[in-house]
Amino acid sequence: MDKLEILRLLRRIKVKPNKKMGQNFALDEKLLELMLREAQITNEDEVVEIGGGMGFLSEKILEFNPKKLYIYEPDKKLFNFLLNKFKDRSNVVLMNEDYLRSQTPNHQVNVSNPPFSISSKIFLKVLREHPRVAILTFQKEFANRLVAKPGTQSYGRLSVISYFFAEVSIIKTINRLSFFPPPKVDIALVRITPKNKSFESIDFRTLECTLKELFKYRLKLLKKAIRFSNIKNKEEVTKSFKEIMEKRVFQLTPEEFLGLSKVIRF
């Protein structure tokens, strides 16, 4: 489907792409086909799609005849459009809900073009839901953060979380013109394979608090970051980790952050 066809369709259903809702509709057939090849959906799979839009990706997913396709579309007009479009498909479940606020049914695959503005929250929710695989489009800068190594510019809180809880790879950089309206940022197609490790086994909450606090001072030496931080037991932490105190925060390995999180108290 080209831009003119989309414009005609949008006028017909009286929808104007909403920047606040992150409505950039994927229209490149090759991109949609690549997403489905990577997802490897079977007819036994239950699939989640975040943001059904006008159903272009949904139609491709349904070619694989999944057991269920759960489509989240918070825009009421688009939701009604999709209801009519898929009214004869018994394996489609449409929800006029915010994915982030929903209790998502058990599913094996997530294939989506979600809003870029909430990428971090979507990534963390996907990890908690633990599908077999998630194939998602993200802002390229955000995708780089998910795969960044210690000591690099993109390395941060999400890099460490990604390291422990998922295998993440960037499949391909996507042309902005694959979307309408074209986003102002570079796009990447990302594969996320959650690891067989529960959040509770690592005490995710404490690890995340540690990462948020220390990465406020990413360029400082760890000993200075601890001094400036809201950590309560600063002296204990400093004594326990003497060997890494001269490292800068962004140079710490995921294992070192995990070790710190087991001692740090807030």
Residue by residue, DSSP assigns the chain as: --HHHHHHHHHHTT----TTTT--EE--HHHHHHHHHHHT--TT-EEEEE--TTSHHHHHHHTT--SEEEEE---HHHHHHHHHHTTT-TTEEEE-S-GGGS-PPP-SEEEE---GGGHHHHHHHHHHH--SEEEEEEEHHHHHHHHPPTTSTT-SHHHHHHHHHEEEEEEEEE-GGGEESPPSS-EEEEEEEE-S--GGGTTHHHHHHHHHHHGGGTTSBHHHHHHHS--S-HHHHHHHTGGGTTSBGGG--HHHHHHHHTT---
**How many domains are contained in the chain?**
2
- Whether residues 192 and 208 fall in one domain: no
- Whether residues 7 and 97 fall in one domain: yes
- Residue 66 covered by a domain: yes
Q: Identify the domain containing residue 16 by its residue range.
A: 3-197
- Domain end: 197, 217, 247, which one? 197
- Whether residues 191 and 207 fall in one domain: no
Looking up residue 11, the CATH number of its domain turns out to be: 3.40.50.150
- Whether residues 62 and 184 fall in one domain: yes
- Domain end: 197, 222, 240, which one? 197
- Residue 266 covered by a domain: no
- Whether residues 133 and 214 fall in one domain: no
What pLDDT is attached to residue 140?
97
- Residue 94 covered by a domain: yes
What pLDDT is attached to residue 6?
80
pLDDT, tens digit, 9 for 90 and up, residues 137-177: 999 999 999 999 999 999 999 999 999 999 999 999 999 98
- Whether residues 177 and 241 fall in one domain: no
- Whether residues 65 and 135 fall in one domain: yes
- Whether residues 213 and 238 fall in one domain: yes
- Whether residues 121 and 229 fall in one domain: no
Ranges in the chain, pLDDT < 70? 1-2, 197-201
- Whether residues 234 and 182 fall in one domain: no
- Whether residues 130 and 226 fall in one domain: no
**Percentage of the residues of the chain whose pLDDT score is greater than 90:** 84
- Whether residues 63 and 92 fall in one domain: yes
- Residue 208 covered by a domain: yes
